[in-house]
Amino acid sequence: MNLLVTGGAGFIGSNFIKQYFSVYPETKIVNLDKLTYAGRLENLKEVEGNKNYKFIKGDISDKKIVSKAVKDCDVIINFAAESHVDRSITSPEDFIKTDVFGAFVLLEEARKNDLEFIQISCYDEKTRALTTDGLKGFSELRKGDKVFSINPETLQIEVKSVEKVIIQDYKGKMIHFKNKRVNIKVTPNHRMFISTRKRKLFVETAEDAAERSIFFMPDGNWKGKEDEYYLVSGHGKVKTKDLFYLSGIFIGDGFTAYQEKKIKTKSGLNREEFLKLARDCAGKFKGMENMSGYETLCKSHRIFFDIPENDKCRKKVENTLKNLGIKFNKHKGKAGTHLYFSSKVWLDFFKQFGKGAYNKSIPKWMLEYSPKYLKHLFDGLMDSDGYKDKIYHTVSEKLVAGFSELCIKLSLKASVGKRHSMNFLNGRKIEGDSYYIVVSKTTKSISRKKIKKVKYDGKIWCLKVKDNKNFITEREGKFDFCGNTDEVYGSIEDGLFSEESPLMPSSPYSASKAGADRLCFSYFKTYGLNAKITRSSNNFGSNQFPEKLIPLFITNLLEEKKVPVYGDGKNIRDWIFVEDNCNAVIKVMEKGKKGEVYNVGGGNEKTNLEITEFILFELNKNKEMIEFVEDRKGHDLRYALNCDKINKLGFKPEHSFDQALKETVEWYKQNFWWWKPLKKK
């Protein structure tokens, strides 16, 4: 996965880049930053030499630069913003330009280039996709290929186009779901399609699914064509069910034989000469001797079915031939027991199934029919090369894919095995591979004890599939359907803001953030863009520009300057350590739903005065260093967030407020070189 991180040299953006690399070191990240007063490349010293990191200096409101930056990127994460409330009051134009228009430019590039704000690669190298052209590995798949997908609402199996193939290198944890009937190996953030006993379909990450005691793999329903009759060119209309059954028999037990042979005619003449010379004056044919030894070309079009007389399906095949209007012969000799007939029309029809056992296949058009008729094809295949309708045998890899597709459309579960055999017949070695396909009607399930977390280092891949976001995969013979701040709200005296609370911003800064927030959501609603929004409470931590409350107060006190507290200092904010916020963004990337908003809070409501007194204590300063100043315009009394929604994704802040603030104070004490030049400006 390739990320474009905007504002990546700023406080939150730089922390995010460093944290993301620590979790996913193989990811490629492009950092687009204008390097205004708050953006500093010194924040990213740890990643400067990383081959997967690239910096581009530029403004997100510059369309040309953004167009260049998004090249080869899969995900855009926008941290670029003018973010100081006081500055927004004195100079609101800059905030509207960056926060709103800049967001518009990014969203337009995402829309035009078919980018997604979140796009996850999932499958390992051994996993293949079942397409209408057979099984394909990730290196064979192309945009425009047709795959089979479940409609989550109707549970109908649909054929969908591949819109994009995503391939990348990955080193890290994979989750392996494996038992006798299931084999799926995916990244932890892969979205699993899971079914309940009542066939209710829902989606959750592989990591969450792995915690279940048991779950079921989903089934789909196939509709298909309902034509009762099929027109066989040169023969006429026949019943589809009879044609499909005989076709299944032919794939397993049939073959064609076309022969040409030159034979001398009795007269020694060709037809034209014979009609002219073999008549007397009255026009009657007369006897004549062989004149020139002329040879004519005879053509034979024969179709054979190798079915013993005592075979359980022999009578059914004979009746089916009669139903189709085919006159046949029975033969028993050294070559075996046959049903056979001669017909150029039918030889041409059976050609499409392939010549020779290794080349047999099911034509695409047959698999487009409904289960009502596909069942007759299945019966024919099983009656020829099957065992008790439970195991099918073939040496054709093409037929494996077609038969598996047939099973899926009949709501049957197919598991493919492969065996290598070697035998000797009359001193001649016979060696080769063959396939056996085990068929079951029961729903597939997997229990927790059959799920493992394993290390992986290699290629992973996924497909972007139109509409349904899932497709059928195959792994080792098993087939399955497998898959931005809270100041925008305003002030609240009691309770907590939820994601559905109305946005009531009180400053040009928060209004510009709210505008970008809703613009992002509008691109999801209008264009279907895979956009996700986080609204975090107040962040704090290292590398924060010393104009914000916590770094300003720390650095002022380190310089023996007083700290300016607005009003009575009783304004309340919820605080979150920046590393926890970055973890929340990653969690939303991996598990969040398209078009959803997620509040991110630390659960640490503090008055500004409480924060001030904590910092005073850590730096051994007294309250005389506090200077109460006139309250700013539009100063909200309290911000607080309800974070139940993101908590359900598995997010929980890892750092305690007291310890994180102590670490932050210590960082500024140890890094005068970083913040002192900034305060001089």
Q: Give the C-alpha separation, 488 to 363, whole Å.
A: 58
pLDDT in tens, 192-223: 888 776 667 777 778 888 888 888 888 889 99
Res 569 pLDDT > 90: no
Catalytic site includes residue 486:
yes
Length of the chain: 681
Least confident of 70-74, 497-501, 675-679: 497-501
CA distances from 14 to 4, 105, 545, 550 (A): 13, 22, 12, 18
Q: What is the structure's pLDDT at 294? A: 66
Measuring CA to CA, which residue among 75, 162, 31 is closest to residue 590?
75
| Residue 275 confidence (pLDDT) above 80 | no
Q: Which of 145, 253, 385, 487 is catalytic?
A: 487
Q: What is the 3-state secondary structure (H, E, C) of 195-263?
A: ECCCCCEEEEEHHHHCCCCEEECCCCECCCECCCEEEECCCEEEEHHHHHHHHHHHHHHEEEEEEEEEE
pLDDT at position 85, please? 40
Question: pLDDT at residue 487 above 70?
Answer: no
Q: What number is the average pLDDT over the span 429-434?
A: 76
Q: Which of 169-178, 473-482, 506-515 has the lowest mean pLDDT?
A: 506-515
Q: Which of 110-114, 119-123, 198-202, 253-257 has the highest mean pLDDT?
A: 253-257
Q: Domain 229-440 maps to which CATH number in 3.10.28.10, 1.10.10.10, 3.30.1330.90, 1.50.10.100?
A: 3.10.28.10
Q: Which H helix or E strand runs over 23?
A: helix 11-23
The structure tokens listed for 277 are 């010379």
Residue 681 pLDDT grade (very low, low, confident, very high; cuts 50, 70, 90) = low
- The domain 2-118+485-680 is placed in CATH, from the list 3.40.50.300, 3.40.640.10, 3.40.50.620, 3.40.50.720, at 3.40.50.720
Mean pLDDT of 405-414: 94
pLDDT at position 84 is 39
- The model's confidence at residue 30, banded by pLDDT at 50, 70 and 90, is very high
Closest by alpha carbon to 520, among 120, 80, 110?
110
Q: Are strands 533-536 and 295-306 parallel, antiparallel or unpaired?
A: unpaired
Among the ranges given (388-402, 423-437, 596-610, 627-641), the one the predictor scored with the smallest mean pLDDT: 627-641
Active-site pick, 486, 517, 580, 636: 486
Q: What is the pLDDT of residue 655?
A: 93
pLDDT at 298: 79
* Catalytic pick among 373, 509, 598, 668: 509
**For residues 352 and 270, which has the higher predicted lDDT (pLDDT)?**
352
562 pLDDT more than 90: yes
Write down the pLDDT at residue 513: 55
Q: Among candidates 57, 63, 78, 102, which has minimal Cα distance to 4?
A: 78
Q: In the predicted model, what is the mean pLDDT of residues 649-665?
A: 94
Position 494 confidence tier, pLDDT thresholds 50, 70, 90: very low
CB 592 within 8 A of CB 598: yes
- pLDDT for 514 beyond 70: no
Tokens at 306, concatenated: 């190798």
Q: Give mean pLDDT, residues 557-580.
A: 91
Q: Which two tokens stand for residue 401?
A: 């894919």
The letter for the amino acid at 661 is L
CA nearest neighbour of 115 among 2, 30, 23, 6: 2
Q: How confident is the model at residue 511 (pLDDT cuts 50, 70, 90)?
A: low
Rounded to 10 degrees, the C-alpha dihedral 666/670/673/676 comes to: 40
- Are 301 and 347 in contact by the 8 Å Cβ rule? The answer is yes
- What pLDDT is attached to residue 382? 95
Looking at the whole model, is its pTM more than 0.85?
A: no
Question: Which tops the pLDDT comparison, 41 or 634?
Answer: 41
3-state secondary structure of 534: strand
Mean pLDDT over 593-597 rounds to: 85
More confident: 251 or 300: 251
Q: What are the beta bridge partners of residue 564?
A: 627
**Residue 230 neighbours by CB distance under 10 Å:** 18
pLDDT tens by residue, 359-394: 999 999 999 999 999 999 999 999 999 988 899 999
Q: Return the pLDDT at 338.
A: 84
Q: Using alpha carbons, select from 23, 642, 92, 46 the residue that is nearest to residue 31.
A: 46
- Nearest Cα neighbor of 345 from 256, 242, 251 is 256
For helices 549-558 and 657-670, what crossing angle results, to 10°?
Answer: 50
Q: Are strands 563-566 and 626-629 parallel, antiparallel or unpaired?
A: parallel
pLDDT band at 467 (very low <50, low <70, confident <90, very high): confident
Asked which of 414-418, 498-502, 528-532 is least confident by mean pLDDT, the reply is: 498-502
Q: What's the whole-number mean pLDDT along residues 323-336? A: 84
pLDDT at res. 119: 28
**128-219+444-481 — its CATH code?**
2.170.16.10
Residue 181 has pLDDT above 80, yes or no: yes
Check pLDDT > 60 for residue 278. Answer: yes
Residue-range domain boundaries for the chain? 2-118+485-680, 128-219+444-481, 229-440
Using DSSP, state whether 555 is helix, strand or coil: helix
Active site residue 487: yes
Q: Output the pLDDT for position 337.
A: 79
Mean pLDDT of the chain: 83
Provide DSSP, 278-331.
SB-TTS-B------S--EEEEEEEEEEEE--TT-TTHHHHHHHHHHTT---EEE
**Residue 95 reports pLDDT greater than 50:** no
**Region label for 115, one of left (φ > 0), alpha (ψ between -120 and 50) or beta (otherwise):** beta
185-199, 603-617, 648-662, 664-678, range with the lowest pLDDT: 185-199
